[in-house]
A = this chain, B = another copy of it.
Amino acid sequence: MKMNNSKVDSLLTGGESGELTDKQKRIVEAAIEMFSEKGFAASSTSEIAKRAGVAEGTIFRHYKTKKELLLAIVTPVMGNLVAPFIVKDLEKVLEKDYEFYEEFLEAMVRNRQAFIQKHLSIVRILVQEIPFHEELRGQFIEHVAKDLYARFANIVSHFQEKDELVQMPPSSVVRLTISSILGFFLARYIFLPEHEWNEEEEIEMTIQFIMNGVKAR
């Protein structure tokens, strides 16, 4: 019987570790495994229970429904997908920790890559299930489309004022930047994860590519 008490980290507990019992952790881990392998709808609670080494009933003691289990897994990651960036980096940027957009981009991409890598399975679940669950779509739009977008636009404005970036609507710069990065992340981690990637080089190229498209001339 697994005694894993580190794989599911504080992310899922809302910050204070130790809130999840050992069995709860095993349930969450098993669910993450299955959801990301076969999708939410095709995963059965009975197999999750089996993989977690708990009784079927135990799952429902902790999560009223199967869907609640999904949300418990996916919601905190969705928040953190953008949260740290927003909080920390935004300040850093405005406090001139980053003198150039490229520097900021570099830091952000690497930071988000690390995050995605660490929570790969959950991010995969998130991407796969968003189209089918209103709640997820709602959260996603609020956090990403609004929050992140707005703050990111601020940052872009900041660098435009410093004449580093081309005078294009900030929203467009953001869109282009994000979709280039997202394009890479999706290809790298979701659609073609088995392909052999030269990550370092690809990232560098992607950033250069973006810079060529948005730097002031």
**Cβ of A180 under 8 Å from chain B:** yes
**Cβ of A182 under 8 Å from chain B:** yes
Complex CA distance for A120 and B130, rounded to whole angstroms: 17
With a cutoff of 8 Å between Cβ atoms, the chain B residues found around residue A180 in the complex are 176, 179-180, 183, 209
Give the secondary structure class of A's interface: helix
Cβ-defined contact, B128 with A195, below 8 A: no
What distance in Å separates the Cβ of A182 from its nearest Cβ neighbour in chain B?
Answer: 5
With a cutoff of 8 Å between Cβ atoms, the chain B residues found around residue A176 in the complex are 180, 205-206, 209
Complex CA distance for A210 and B183, rounded to whole angstroms: 13
Cβ-defined contact, A131 with B190, below 8 A: yes
With a cutoff of 8 Å between Cβ atoms, the chain B residues found around residue A6 in the complex are none
What distance in Å separates the Cβ of A113 from its nearest Cβ neighbour in chain B?
Answer: 15
Cβ-defined contact, A131 with B132, below 8 A: no
With a cutoff of 8 Å between Cβ atoms, the chain B residues found around residue A172 in the complex are 202, 205
What distance in Å separates the Cβ of A102 from its nearest Cβ neighbour in chain B?
Answer: 14
A: interface residue count bin: 35 or more
Complex CA distance for A159 and B72, rounded to whole angstroms: 50
Known: A131-B190, A191-B130. A202 touches B183 (CB 8 A): no
> B124, B183, B206: which contacts A182 (Cβ < 8 A)?
B183
With a cutoff of 8 Å between Cβ atoms, the chain B residues found around residue A38 in the complex are 41, 132
**Cβ of A39 under 8 Å from chain B:** yes
Cβ-defined contact, A209 with B213, below 8 A: yes
What distance in Å separates the Cβ of A47 from its nearest Cβ neighbour in chain B?
Answer: 14
**Cβ of A192 under 8 Å from chain B:** yes
With a cutoff of 8 Å between Cβ atoms, the chain B residues found around residue A186 in the complex are 179, 182-183, 186
Complex CA distance for A206 and B213, rounded to whole angstroms: 9
Known: A145-B195, A209-B213. A183 touches B190 (CB 8 A): no
Subset of 21 A-B contacts with CB under 8 Å: A39-B39, A39-B41, A39-B131, A41-B42, A128-B128, A128-B131, A141-B192, A145-B192, A168-B205, A172-B202, A172-B205, A175-B187, A179-B183, A179-B184, A179-B206, A180-B209, A182-B183, A186-B186, A208-B213, A210-B213, A212-B213
